[in-house]
Amino acid sequence: MIDRSDFLYPRSRYYGPVKPENLVFNANLQEFAQRVNFICNLETGGKLPPEEAYKQIKNLWKQLKRSKKELAIGENPFQGEAEGEEGS
C-alpha cells in the first residue's frame, strides 16, 4: 500500500553533489515547491484570498532563505578543491 504522505508529498531523487547540506537543502526546496503549489491551487480555486496566499508564500520563502543561510549553501564555492588553486 502506498503511504498517504508519499502521494501528497512526492520526492524526486537528488542528482547533485552528495553532501549532507545539499541533501537537506534539496529536501527543503522540494517541500517549498509542494507547499507553494498547494497554496496556488487553493487561491486559484477561490478557497484562499490572494493576500493570504501571498503572505503564506512569503513566509515559506523566508524559511527557505533561512535554511540556505544556516546550511551555508553557495558560500564556499571552491570548498573541496585542492589547495593552491584559488589564486590561479
- List, in sequence order, every beta strand (DSSP E) within the chain: none
- Domain extents in the chain: 29-69
Band of residue 1 on the pLDDT scale cut at 50, 70, 90: low
Residue 70: all three cell numbers together: 544556516
pLDDT at 77 (0 to 100): 60
Average pLDDT estimate for 2-14: 71
CB 32 within 8 A of CB 64: yes
* Average pLDDT score over the chain: 85
- Residues 30-67 have pLDDT tens digits of 999 999 999 999 999 999 999 999 999 999 999 999 99
The pTM assigned to this predicted structure is 0.75
